[in-house]
């Protein structure tokens, strides 16, 4: 059981660690050599240009800047919310509002709880009469456990529970209303985007006499004749993408060894081909990687032809475009077929939000995948009970001493005991949770979700349930079992519920240590960015050769909603549960919300580059889980009061969860449709305004390549690389240039013809008012018969689209 001294040791270690991290950040961020590590967002947005003089200087010699080590704080607060939305998107702005919501809820709650409940709890004195049965510390005297069973003081706790619940619901209602308004306003003022006109269609039925593209074209021309514009088929190019990534890794190693040889030309780099370079045959690394890349190029070319020629590579998924937002909204929000499992439509994610790998998963296997992953998550939750129980054993040394007295000489050392109880449990739990978000993200990908935003939301859901069961309930149950082990063995069974009811609030000390490790030192470590800093300088040292390589070495990352949202919701849960039970925990949570708000605001402005924009689609989950935290706090308080003979006050608590559920149902019906559906009225207004302002807008051209599969973009990049390679080789020798002038001109003319034929529309007149859509593949293979290069030029994708004028 952690004492005040143990908490003091933990607070000292974590505050010192946070201060060291902030001090290092203040020094490192002003060094020119680290500019791309701490300001990558500004480079990507074009608001910060490379200072070559500063890059050569590497170290900042202006001593005045070192004394302004807190200058990042006003810089993070200076940007208004409107500017922040324009700079980083609505997702980032709404994410920050979760921290301000925490401050708005818990600051008044903390003031009232400290002024009202702490004096009531301290004057109870019941723990002094239970000294022989239950272990406790001085902190536990500030909790509800110190109130005498059957006391009328519980009416005060009951009143505070109602007050805190009403205040929380009031703030949730205001915030839900504000976020819903921000979302609708953001969508209304958003510039024209491809996803506003596009619907994703899944589980397209196979038609024996038609290809997938022809079946889609026929279906939508028949059922949406007035607004259907076109479609974009989806190809299973996952194997091709893996080969390209493998080639990129090999190319990085080749660049590294070539750069190493350029720096030390007297010796060519050599190494072994076996595991980690310790076994296998000795080879010249440059020749070895060139040979492997050449072999891989052949496999890539073969796989490219297979994707384009094999009809089975076309998946029963398509991106269907419409000539108006209204038409897309009608299609996305209605059932298309008599069979509810076919022709499933939904709003298409924005192009950068699409997770292309999962589009190749057959639709019928999705249910099986989700079922298997649900079983895996269930098993993972209980598997993690083992390390959680171990962590709790560190936090409850007195209970172990009574069961295993031979450990007492080591545990009773004052410094060791304070460190073990005050700091190590929270750190151990943080380390056990470190790899979990990555594992849960892999599970979500296996389930088959087709957008990055949905993947992060599903990962957040899994992580939230894990945090609820293992971190919250598991810590309480495991802690109670260790703590009260002796009482379970010797007390009569009738006393066990009373012992547990008194012991549950005592876990507040463990959660205080966890908050300090995760919410104080952990947040300070987030702004320091140790891992990206090290990786960037390693890449800069061994791989970077050009300015473009230096830009690619930047790792801005994103907010990581799948990991951060559940962690935030855990803090809401702890605050709401312990607001009435152990109010002394609330100041720790307030410090977390305030400090994390500053840090993440700075990171969003200067560092994070969000991979997608979902217009705050995650907010309904945030609201629902705070409501769940309220209900858990009610159940916890009900269980405590029922074990403390509060017969008159406990029944009055029954109405509180019922009122909370009614409030949640009202908010869900009132605000959630704004996050699930797009109003037809809004769609029509935007269409009318756009037609009035841009009457000659050609949507067919605008939407032509919006959802073109990345494989075709890779083809274009390969064409450009081949053309650039030819140009470089030509420039090497003026004599070679004169000798091969005829071949070079013919080669360039071939590339120009291919480029002009990559993606285009053919308009043909029709006798009826119907759209005729024809999706064809044409491949042009041209051979260069020069002695410089003699390999096949890449095939090209041709897109035909016939519309009546």
Q: Which range among 102-106, 141-145, 705-709, 741-745 shows the weakest confidence by mean pLDDT?
A: 741-745
What is the distance between the alpha carbons of residues 522 and 14, in angstroms, rounded to a whole number?
9
Q: Which range among 130-134, 636-640, 706-710, 711-715 shows the weakest confidence by mean pLDDT?
A: 130-134
Q: What angle do CA 309, 315, 316 make, to 5 degrees?
A: 135
pLDDT above 50 (res 244) = yes
pLDDT above 80 (res 276) = no
Map tokens 């897309």 to a residue.
328
Which 3 state secondary structure label does DSSP give 518? Answer: helix
Structure token pair of residue 121 = 């709890």
- The secondary structure element, H or E, covering residue 527 is helix 522-528
Residue 235 pLDDT level (bands cut at 50, 70, 90): confident
Contact 411, 417 (CB under 8 A): yes
- The secondary structure element, H or E, covering residue 772 is strand 772-774
pLDDT above 60 (res 149) = yes
Any idea what DSSP says for residue 83?
Answer: H
Residue 396 pLDDT level (bands cut at 50, 70, 90): low
Total-model pTM: 0.80
Q: Give per-residue pLDDT as tens, 512-557.
A: 888 998 888 889 999 999 989 998 888 888 777 666 677 778 888 8
What is the distance between the alpha carbons of residues 614 and 578, in angstroms, rounded to a whole number?
33
DSSP bridge partners of 283: 271
pLDDT value for 414: 64
What is the distance between the alpha carbons of residues 791 and 783, in angstroms, rounded to a whole number?
6
pLDDT value for 775: 32
What is the distance between the alpha carbons of residues 312 and 616, in angstroms, rounded to a whole number?
37
Contact 506, 1 (CB under 8 A): yes
pLDDT value for 266: 85
pLDDT above 70 (res 487) = no
Structure token pair of residue 345 = 């439509």
Q: What are phi and psi of 226, to 5 degrees?
A: -90, -20
Average pLDDT, the chain: 78
pLDDT value for 495: 52
Burial label, 389 (beta-carbon count in 10 A; 0-12, 13-18, 19+): middle
Q: What are phi and psi of 102, to 5 degrees?
A: -60, -40
Question: What share of the chain in percent tops pLDDT 90?
Answer: 34
What is the distance between the alpha carbons of residues 136 and 156, in angstroms, rounded to a whole number?
23
- The secondary structure element, H or E, covering residue 389 is helix 385-395
Q: How far, in Å, are 113, 740, 749 from residue 736 at the CA level?
A: 85, 6, 19
Residue 335: how many other CB atoms lie within 10 Å:
10
DSSP 181-215: HHHHHHHHHPPP-GGGSEEEEESPPP-TTS-HHHH
DSSP bridge partners of 774: 800
pLDDT value for 20: 92
Long-range pairs, 525-530, Cβ under 8 A, ≥24: 525/21, 526/599, 526/600, 526/603, 527/21, 527/22, 527/25, 527/599, 527/602, 527/603, 528/21, 528/22, 528/24, 528/25, 528/28, 529/37, 529/38, 529/607
What value does the mean pLDDT take over residues 357-382? 88
Structure token pair of residue 134 = 């239950």
Residue 457: how many other CB atoms lie within 10 Å:
20
pLDDT value for 790: 34
Q: Give per-residue pLDDT as tens, 590-602.
A: 999 999 999 999 9
Contact 136, 127 (CB under 8 A): yes
What is the distance between the alpha carbons of residues 798 and 78, in angstroms, rounded to a whole number?
50
What value does the mean pLDDT take over residues 601-606? 94
- The secondary structure element, H or E, covering residue 346 is strand 344-347
Q: Which range among 324-333, 539-548, 709-718 shows the weakest confidence by mean pLDDT?
A: 709-718
pLDDT above 90 (res 141) = no
Question: What share of the chain in percent tops pLDDT 70?
Answer: 75
Residue 747 pLDDT level (bands cut at 50, 70, 90): very low
pLDDT above 90 (res 461) = yes
> Which has the higher per-residue pLDDT, 240 or 458?
458
pLDDT value for 738: 40
Handedness of CA 756, 757, 758, 761 (dihedral sign): positive
pLDDT value for 1: 53
Q: How far, in Å, are 230, 326, 690, 802 from residue 223 at the CA level?
A: 13, 15, 25, 18
Q: Give per-residue pLDDT as tens, 610-653.
A: 888 999 999 999 999 999 999 999 988 887 887 777 667 778 88
What value does the mean pLDDT take over residues 346-357? 90
């Amino acid at each position: 059981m952690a004492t005040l001294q143990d908490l003091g040791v933990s607070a000292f270690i974590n505050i010192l660690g946070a201060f060291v991290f902030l001090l290092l950040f203040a020094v490192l961020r002003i060094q020119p050599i680290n500019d791309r590590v701490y300001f990558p967002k500004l480079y990507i947005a074009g608001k910060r240009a490379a200072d070559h003089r500063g890059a050569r200087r590497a170290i900042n010699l202006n001593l005045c800047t070192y004394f302004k080590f807190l200058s990042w704080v006003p810089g993070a607060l200076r940007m208004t919310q409107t500017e922040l939305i324009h700079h980083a998107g609505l997702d980032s702005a709404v994410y920050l509002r979760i921290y301000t919501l925490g401050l708005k809820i818990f600051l008044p709650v903390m003031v009232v709880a400290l002024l009202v409940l702490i004096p009531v709890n301290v004057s109870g004195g019941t723990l002094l009469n239970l000294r022989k049965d239950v272990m406790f510390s001085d902190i536990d005297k500030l909790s509800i456990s110190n109130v005498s069973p059957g006391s009328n003081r519980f009416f005060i706790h009951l009143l505070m529970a109602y007050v805190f619940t009403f205040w929380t619901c009031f703030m949730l209602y205001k915030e839900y209303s504000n976020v819903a308004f921000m979302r609708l306003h953001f969508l209304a003022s958003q510039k024209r985007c491809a996803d506003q006109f596009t619907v994703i269609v899944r589980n397209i039925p196979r038609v024996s006499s038609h290809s997938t593209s022809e079946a889609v074209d026929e279906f939508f021309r028949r059922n949406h004749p007035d607004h259907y514009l076109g479609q974009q088929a989806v190809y299973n190019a996952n194997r091709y993408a893996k080969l390209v990534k493998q080639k990129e890794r090999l190319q990085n190693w080749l660049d590294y060894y070539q750069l190493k040889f350029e720096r030390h030309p007297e010796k060519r780099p050599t190494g072994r081909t076996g595991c980690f370079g310790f076994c296998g045959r000795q080879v010249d690394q440059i020749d070895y990687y060139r040979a492997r890349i050449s072999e891989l190029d052949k496999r890539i070319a073969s796989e490219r032809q297979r994707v384009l020629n094999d009809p089975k590579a076309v998946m029963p998924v398509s991106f269907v475009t419409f000539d108006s937002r209204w038409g897309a909204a009608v299609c996305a929000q209605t059932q298309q077929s008599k069979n509810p499992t076919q022709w499933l439509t939904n709003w298409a994610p924005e192009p950068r939000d699409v997770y292309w790998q999962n589009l190749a998963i057959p639709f019928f296997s999705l249910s099986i995948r989700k079922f298997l992953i649900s079983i895996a998550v269930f098993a993972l939750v209980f598997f993690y009970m083992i390390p959680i129980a171990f962590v709790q054993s560190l936090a409850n040394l007195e209970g172990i001493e009574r069961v295993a007295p031979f450990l007492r000489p080591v545990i009773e050392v004052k410094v060791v005991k304070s460190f073990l109880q005050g700091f190590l449990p929270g750190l151990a739990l943080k380390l056990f949770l470190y790899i979990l978000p990555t594992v849960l993200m892999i599970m979500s990908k296996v389930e088959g979700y087709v957008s990055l935003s949905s993947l992060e939301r599903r990962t957040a859901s899994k992580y939230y349930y894990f945090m609820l069961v293992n971190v919250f309930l598991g810590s309480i149950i495991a802690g109670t079992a260790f703590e009260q082990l002796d009482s379970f063995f010797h007390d009569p069974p009738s006393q066990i519920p009373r012992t547990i009811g008194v012991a549950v609030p005592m876990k507040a000390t463990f959660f205080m240590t966890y908050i300090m490790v995760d919410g104080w030192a952990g947040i300070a470590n987030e702004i320091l960015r140790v891992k990206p800093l090290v990786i960037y300088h390693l890449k800069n040292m061994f791989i970077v050769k050009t300015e473009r390589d230096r830009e690619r070495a930047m790792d801005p990352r994103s907010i990581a909603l799948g990991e951060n949202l559940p962690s935030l919701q855990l803090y809401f849960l702890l605050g709401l549960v312990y607001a009435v039970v152990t109010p002394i925990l609330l100041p720790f949570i307030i410090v977390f919300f305030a400090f994390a708000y500053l840090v993440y605001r700075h990171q969003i402005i200067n560092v994070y580059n969000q991979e997608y924009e979902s217009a705050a689609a995650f907010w309904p989950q945030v609201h629902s889980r705070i409501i769940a935290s309220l209900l858990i706090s009610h159940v916890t308080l009900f269980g405590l009061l029922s074990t403390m003979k509060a017969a008159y006050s406990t029944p009055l608590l029954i109405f509180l969860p019922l009122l909370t559920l009614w409030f949640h149902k009202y908010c869900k019906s009132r605000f959630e449709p704004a996050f699930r559906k797009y109003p037809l009225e809004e769609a029509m207004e935007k269409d009318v305004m756009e037609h009035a302002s841009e009457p000659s807008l050609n949507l067919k051209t605008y939407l032509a390549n919006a959802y073109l599969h990345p494989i075709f973009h890779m083809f274009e990049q390969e064409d450009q690389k081949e053309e650039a390679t030819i140009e470089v080789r030509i420039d090497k020798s003026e004599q070679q240039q004169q000798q091969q002038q005829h071949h070079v001109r013919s080669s360039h003319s071939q590339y120009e013809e291919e480029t002009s034929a990559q993606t285009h529309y053919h308009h043909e007149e029709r006798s009826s008012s119907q759209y005729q859509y024809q999706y064809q593949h044409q491949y042009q293979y041209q051979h260069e018969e020069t002695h410089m290069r003699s390999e096949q030029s890449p095939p090209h994708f041709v897109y035909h689209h016939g519309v009546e004028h």
